Chains A and B, each alone.
Chain A
Amino acid sequence: MTSRTESEDMSTATPTRAPHGDVPTGHRTAEGRAGAGLFDPGQLVRSLPDALRKLDPRVMVKSPVIFVVWSGSVLTTVFSFTDPGDLFGWTISAWLWLTVVFANLAEAVAEGRGKAQADTLRRAKTDTVARRLLDGGAEERVPGTDLRIGDLVVCETGDVVPGDGDVVEGVASVDESAITGESAPVIRESGGDRSAVTGGTKVLSDRIVIRITTRPGETFIDRMINLVEGAARQKTPNEIALNILLASLTIVFLLAVATLPPFADHAGTQLTMVVLVALLVCLIPTTIGALLSAIGIAGMDRLVQRNVLAMSGRAVEAAGDVSTLLLDKTGTITLGNRRAAEFVPVGGATEAEVADAAQLSSLADETPEGRSVVVLAKERYGLRERHRGELVHAEWIAFTAQTRMSGVDVDGRKVRKGAAGAVTDWVRERGGTVAEDAQSAADRIAAAGGTPLLVAVEDTDGARALGVIHLKDVVKDGMRDRFAELRRMGIKTVMITGDNPLTAKAIAEEAGVDDFLAEATPEDKMALIRREQAGGKLVAMTGDGTNDAPALAQADVGVAMNTGTSAAKEAGNMVDLDSDPTKLIEIVEIGKQLLITRGALTTFSIANDVAKYFAIIPALFAAVYPGLDKLNIMALSSPDSAILSAVVFNALIILALVPLSLRGVRYRPMSADRMLRRNLTVYGIGGLIAPFVGIKLIDLLISLIPGL
């Protein structure tokens, strides 16, 4: 936790969080990155060579359903060679091969998007020369690949950081755009939570000494390249489970088709190998079998597009299952800084007097809180903003941790603003009094979750308190709705804050979170996660500090901020390059979308089979059992055309669904019941009907071709 603010303190420290935390729903797609945006048909063409390379049986065998199609294609092709005049056999073989190629294409396109990104990353990883520090302070120049854990290296203006590590000496501004896509430089300094530097980033100014923390080849950028290229991709548990189900369905259909020849013999007809393979390929769940791995890769890719790196696909799946979200208050639920909301006069002063004094005392205060006082005075009381230059004789008193107040001495008038205790002491030292209602006003503000700042003045009338500034946490726009949405999705939100319980409660109520953890220590957080997990819940959280690391490791989805320490990044299973804690919500949605896409296409794939039977069974057997022609409800033109249409539809539907598998099924937060009803209608009922229409249309086209 870095943004803990003591309510008595007037926080003047620079906020450690990146400023774009202010946008609750937004995400940037970094410029110059590949794979963003909508599906481009050109990708299909570009990925074709990769798809053809995947026809290697050693690759094919990894996808059992498509391997069966591949084997079928080989079989029919061999049989076609034995009967070269059989145009039907050749056509079926060709379409079966196309089915395999389309399946490979889906995967190749998904991988291709990552490859482009990996290339960008590789450019950042050009061979660097490191300046290694030797004992005694001398330097030697060694290739970056020779660095070992624990080595100390020096980087100065213009140097590329040779490897991942922590800054142990100095401060520097670093350009991390190679990794994050964000061009604004960031500050990296020794000690604290901003000490981590990443290999491949560039030092823009100053000199730092870095202790290397990873071996060459295992750096963050290496892992990123592996991830986006899919080289490190392992099948996730749910994907494995689905593959098992698909394999068992394939076996069932294999049995149904393999046992058919003796049945047909008895009926007095012979089935050719080509027809049997065609029937088998139509029945096994080729659609989902072809798209399954593309869906997985695309899910990871959607995260990458949002600048989130998942260290394992398992974490993406877990994100869909999350039922408790731990959200840091500052930067996630509230804007990073408190803002002045009202001026409360005390002891007979007027509001205008308070506003005037408050504005004066804040002119030199460049903290967001200070600026907000000036803004409020202008907006509410029409006080023109004065500039420091206008007040020539002014002596500006800066905030220090000792005095805990700031202000200005000008024209014999002394104005102070600060923590109530400090300002009260200041007034009393000068023989003045603090009106009784000042304390009650401060208490009231504190009770409402705000921070009171006392404003006092010493002038010819003596020292006295004028009023109280009400600083309050501002809940970001739309957060209430967002949490209500999450609640409908069955996700409980817990706000984590260092504030006292009173303040925390007030903000929690305003933001509409389900629960809060006040005065949170890392141990409290850990205990909360354990408690939720003991109840069977999956917990997601974000964190950036080293003291967050144990909780990040314990959480089912731990998103480390890229600005955070390397310990935090090691512990989490995702890294957010934008360091935007709000993104946790998007990560959950991406996880759900991945699972929904899998389920929807599986349902679609299985529902498709019904129509294919109605095409193929009458085509095979109506000659011997004319009654079966009643099943030819699509009125397909000929048996050959019926079988071919089913095969063609089966191949084309894969191609047609590639964009959907890459983009993911449209996801909107809603209850499970509504979501199921919607997806069942679209992909279940739709999956039943679509092939009837599709096969009929293809049949119409085929019947126009002479010779078939």
Chain B
Amino acid sequence: MGPVLAGVLQLLALMGALALAYIPLGNYMAKVYSSDKHWRVEKWIYRSIGAHPDTEMRWPAYLRGILAFSVVGVLFLYLLQRLQGVLPGSLGFDSVSPAQSFNTAVSFVTNTNWQSYYGEQTMGHVVQTAGLAVQNFVSAAVGIAVAVALVRGFARSRTGELGNFWSDLVRGVTRILLPGAFVAAVVLVACGALQNFSGIHEVGQFMGGSQQWNGGAVASTEAVKELGTNGGGYFNANSAHPFENPTPFTNLFEIFLLLVIPFSLTRTFGVMVGSVRQGYAILATMATIWVGFVALMMWTEFAHHGPAFEIAGGAMEGKEARFGVGASSIFAVSTTLTSTGAVNSFHSSFTGLGGGITLLGMQLGEIAPGGTGSGLYGMLIMATIAVFIAGLMVGRTPEYLGKKIGTREIKLAACYILITPALVLVLTAVSMALPTPPNSMLNSGAHGFSEVLYAFTSAANNNGSAFAGLNANTDWYNTMTGLAMLLGRFLPMVFVLALAGSLAEQKPVPATAGTLRTEKPLFTGVLVGAILIITGLTYFPALALGPLAEGLAS
């Protein structure tokens, strides 16, 4: 079996598995966020944090909940790292520097999981497990909560109420992420991933010399790292490390994990707005882009240039021999089209165009299928904009799911789509223009530029993957990527929740034959086109000077 066929078969298997999970998981999540019953353990949590899970919140209250929770999360993680040296379970590592602690705290709270540190050389068991892994759960749950609030905005009318943040947050963890991660961790352990609390081992190498191995709760971290589209590796090599991702099966399983919630949330959306076909349309949009990107990636990575590539069957530099070109392509596209940022290969080593595909994937706003929750709300914002333009073309003022897209709605959606391009382009430009930051680049020319562009694209879009090469552990990059992550996560949430509030207050407009049918394939086509053209146009000049210049050079 040739590597191309193997890659295609893996892709098909993956799609089959996602399809099987779609309806049960989507329906289950809809039930989780619609049920009025609390589990006992949830009641304990509410009591201990003093939350009233049955109080409906308007959007400002919902937002305050998110911001308060996240500020506490950042402070806690920051202190945990700064105090690591005096805490037990540090494996002897020192406290982390202020800039890096800030960066890492923000990174994990924002579901980015950008790592300017080497996991196995910086973080002990306590920080990894009690700090970072906890945020892997809650930051993902926050994302889903915001998406659910927006969906409620579409589904509800004549009320400003969007649900209760604390209840949504806790249920996301207790009912979805914890059980899911538990099952996934068991599977990973069974397949050979590491799960212990042992210390550092000095191991002799094959070719002489020695190397250090850490133990740790790797499999469980890995499970939620993928399931919650987090992506922060236990080890620096991330999912290319055999302790994290031992076999081709675990590789495919991890891709499944990072895609399954974002894709299935479209079902949750469909169920909650009372039309599963609307969910299918959003699913189709996400799936079209995802499959298209995978196909492009495989095409560019399998294309043979020169004898070395031909022997390897494609561009194998920086890719694990266990996974090959096909599985690495699927992983790279999936991790950049979601907000995961876990890597099983080095995006910097992809072909020029392949690197461009990972960049563009993030620049689309990570909406196909995107992060847990953030993918759905990002996509719904794009749908709102597509509806606004396409809706006019059927001769009505635009409406989506029975809600008018008026001045206020379009203002909020327009602000949303401005944020990440502004962060990415401005921070990249400043980093290129100032005298010292460019020293972080490993390469010169187009590839060096791609490293910087990738760093800010990844941070502002809360992806977290890195284009290896850039030394991001400088005060400049730790601070600026930290800012990009913070603003790129929470500013959009402000606009999403305000939009949700505004939609929830409206009275619904009944659909007639004159209404734009957003559940039809035609609209899916419009939406795909709008996403590609609007983001494509935004980043085209920058992409031309990075990956395109490199990829078209030969």
Chain A contacts to B: CB under 8 angstroms: 237-238, 240-242, 244-245, 247-249, 251-253, 255-267, 279, 283, 317, 320-321, 323, 487-492, 535-537, 591-593, 595-596, 598-600, 602-603, 606-607, 609-610, 613, 617, 621, 624-628, 630-631, 667, 671-673, 675-677, 679-680, 683-684
Chain B residues with CB under 8 Å of A595's CB are 392, 395-397
Chain B residues with CB under 8 Å of A252's CB are 417-418, 421, 534, 537-538
Of B213-221, B235-243, B322-330, B405-413, the stretch lying at the interface with chain A is B405-413
CB atoms of A625 and B414 under 8 A apart:
no
CB atoms of A266 and B438 under 8 A apart:
yes
> Residue of B at shortest CB range from A255?
B425
CB atoms of B394 and A676 under 8 A apart:
yes
7 A-B Cβ contacts within 8 A?
A242-B392, A244-B410, A244-B414, A320-B397, A321-B397, A610-B536, A627-B552
Q: Is B308 an interface residue (CB 8 A)?
A: no
CB atoms of B397 and A244 under 8 A apart:
no
Chain A residues with CB under 8 Å of B397's CB are 237-238, 317, 320-321, 595
Least CB distance, A97 to chain B, in whole angstroms: 25
- What is the CA–CA distance of A276 and B538 in the complex, to the nearest angstrom? 15
Find the residue from A241, A251, A488 having the highest chain B CB count within 10 A: A241
CB atoms of A266 and B432 under 8 A apart:
yes
> Residue of B at shortest CB range from A249?
B534
Of B62-70, B92-100, B285-293, B507-515, the stretch lying at the interface with chain A is B507-515
> Residue of A at shortest CB range from B410?
A241
- What is the CA–CA distance of A675 and B410 in the complex, to the nearest angstrom? 23
CB atoms of A241 and B405 under 8 A apart:
yes
Least CB distance, B526 to chain A, in whole angstroms: 7
Least CB distance, A526 to chain B, in whole angstroms: 19
Asked if A606 meets B395 with Cβ closer than 8 Å, knowing A264-B545, A672-B516, the reply is no
Q: Identify which of A244, A265, A631 contacts B548 (C-beta below 8 A).
A: A631
- Render B384-411 as a binary contact track against A, CB cut-off 8 A, 1 for contact: 0100111111111110001001110111
Q: Identify which of A251, A610, A627, A677 contacts B418 (C-beta below 8 A).
A: A251
CB atoms of A596 and B392 under 8 A apart:
yes
- What is the CA–CA distance of A575 and B544 in the complex, to the nearest angstrom? 56
> Residue of A at shortest CB range from B537?
A609
Q: Is B299 an interface residue (CB 8 A)?
A: no
CB atoms of B549 and A257 under 8 A apart:
no
- What is the CA–CA distance of A251 and B534 in the complex, to the nearest angstrom? 13
Q: Is B180 an interface residue (CB 8 A)?
A: no
- What is the CA–CA distance of A595 and B389 in the complex, to the nearest angstrom? 10
> Residue of B at shortest CB range from A673?
B517
- Render B418-433 as a binary contact track against A, CB cut-off 8 A, 1 for contact: 1001100110111011
Q: Identify which of B421, B509, B514, B522 contacts A677 (C-beta below 8 A).
A: B522
CB atoms of A599 and B390 under 8 A apart:
yes
> Residue of B at shortest CB range from A263?
B545
Asked if A253 meets B537 with Cβ closer than 8 Å, knowing A266-B449, A320-B395, A625-B549, the reply is yes
CB atoms of A536 and B449 under 8 A apart:
no
- What is the CA–CA distance of A244 and B396 in the complex, to the nearest angstrom? 18
CB atoms of A631 and B552 under 8 A apart:
yes
Least CB distance, A299 to chain B, in whole angstroms: 12
CB atoms of B422 and A244 under 8 A apart:
no
Q: Identify which of B514, B517, B522, B538 contacts A489 (C-beta below 8 A).
A: B514
CB atoms of B406 and A675 under 8 A apart:
no
Chain A residues with CB under 8 Å of B407's CB are 237, 240-241, 244
Interface secondary structure of B, over-half rule: helix
CB atoms of A676 and B537 under 8 A apart:
no
> Residue of B at shortest CB range from A612?
B537
Given contacts A251-B418, A672-B396, 14 further A-B contacts (CB under 8 A): A238-B392, A241-B407, A248-B418, A249-B534, A259-B429, A606-B389, A625-B549, A625-B552, A627-B551, A628-B549, A672-B515, A673-B522, A675-B393, A676-B523
> Residue of B at shortest CB range from A617?
B544
- What is the CA–CA distance of A255 and B425 in the complex, to the nearest angstrom? 7
CB atoms of B522 and A323 under 8 A apart:
no
CB atoms of B513 and A489 under 8 A apart:
yes
> How many interface residues does B have (CB within 8 Å)?
70
> Residue of B at shortest CB range from A489?
B514
CB atoms of B512 and A267 under 8 A apart:
no
Chain B residues with CB under 8 Å of A283's CB are 537
Chain B residues with CB under 8 Å of A245's CB are 385, 388-389, 410, 414
- Render B512-535 as a binary contact track against A, CB cut-off 8 A, 1 for contact: 111111001011001001000110
Nearest first, the 6 closest Cβ-Cβ pairs linking A and B are: A599-B392, A490-B514, A490-B512, A592-B395, A627-B552, A248-B414
- What is the CA–CA distance of A596 and B514 in the complex, to the nearest angstrom? 12
CB atoms of B389 and A609 under 8 A apart:
no
- What is the CA–CA distance of A489 and B515 in the complex, to the nearest angstrom? 8
- What is the CA–CA distance of A262 and B363 in the complex, to the nearest angstrom? 20
Q: Identify which of A265, A537, A676 contacts B393 (C-beta below 8 A).
A: A676
CB atoms of B406 and A676 under 8 A apart:
no
Find the residue from B406, B517, B545 having the highest chain A CB count within 10 A: B545
> Residue of A at shortest CB range from B446?
A625
> Residue of A at shortest CB range from B385?
A245
Least CB distance, A258 to chain B, in whole angstroms: 8
- What is the CA–CA distance of A62 and B449 in the complex, to the nearest angstrom? 39
> Residue of B at shortest CB range from A607?
B533
Chain A residues with CB under 8 Å of B515's CB are 490, 672
CB atoms of B533 and A610 under 8 A apart:
yes
Q: Is B539 an interface residue (CB 8 A)?
A: yes
Q: Identify which of B402, B426, B438, B548 contacts A259 (C-beta below 8 A).
A: B426
Chain A residues with CB under 8 Å of B428's CB are 259, 263
Chain A residues with CB under 8 Å of B529's CB are 684
CB atoms of B438 and A680 under 8 A apart:
no
Q: Identify which of B406, B438, B541 contacts A256 (C-beta below 8 A).
A: B541
Q: Is B448 an interface residue (CB 8 A)?
A: yes
Least CB distance, B277 to chain A, in whole angstroms: 14
Least CB distance, B153 to chain A, in whole angstroms: 16
- What is the CA–CA distance of A320 and B397 in the complex, to the nearest angstrom? 7
> Residue of B at shortest CB range from A248?
B414
CB atoms of B417 and A628 under 8 A apart:
no
Chain B residues with CB under 8 Å of A592's CB are 395-396
Least CB distance, A124 to chain B, in whole angstroms: 35
CB atoms of A256 and B510 under 8 A apart:
no
- What is the CA–CA distance of A616 and B410 in the complex, to the nearest angstrom? 30
- Render B451-477 as a binary contact track against A, CB cut-off 8 A, 1 for contact: 000000000000000000000000000
CB atoms of B402 and A536 under 8 A apart:
yes
Q: Is B179 an interface residue (CB 8 A)?
A: no
CB atoms of A266 and B448 under 8 A apart:
yes
- What is the CA–CA distance of A677 and B554 in the complex, to the nearest angstrom? 40
> Residue of B at shortest CB range from A602?
B389
Q: Is B44 an interface residue (CB 8 A)?
A: no
Chain A residues with CB under 8 Å of B523's CB are 676
- What is the CA–CA distance of A257 and B544 in the complex, to the nearest angstrom? 13
Q: Is B542 an interface residue (CB 8 A)?
A: yes
- What is the CA–CA distance of A262 and B405 in the complex, to the nearest angstrom? 38
Find the residue from B395, B414, B510, B514 having the highest chain A CB count within 10 A: B395
- What is the CA–CA distance of A491 and B512 in the complex, to the nearest angstrom? 7
CB atoms of A259 and B390 under 8 A apart:
no
Least CB distance, B49 to chain A, in whole angstroms: 38
Chain A residues with CB under 8 Å of B548's CB are 627-628, 631
Least CB distance, A341 to chain B, in whole angstroms: 34
CB atoms of A267 and B395 under 8 A apart:
no
Chain B residues with CB under 8 Å of A679's CB are 393-394
Least CB distance, B100 to chain A, in whole angstroms: 26
> Residue of B at shortest CB range from A239?
B407
Q: Identify which of A248, A537, A593 contacts B415 (C-beta below 8 A).
A: A248
Q: Is B553 an interface residue (CB 8 A)?
A: yes
- What is the CA–CA distance of A487 and B514 in the complex, to the nearest angstrom? 9
> Residue of B at shortest CB range from A537?
B510
CB atoms of A596 and B553 under 8 A apart:
no
> Residue of B at shortest CB range from A538?
B509
Least CB distance, A482 to chain B, in whole angstroms: 15
- What is the CA–CA distance of A250 and B243 in the complex, to the nearest angstrom? 48
Chain B residues with CB under 8 Å of A323's CB are 510, 512, 514
- What is the CA–CA distance of A265 and B445 in the complex, to the nearest angstrom? 10
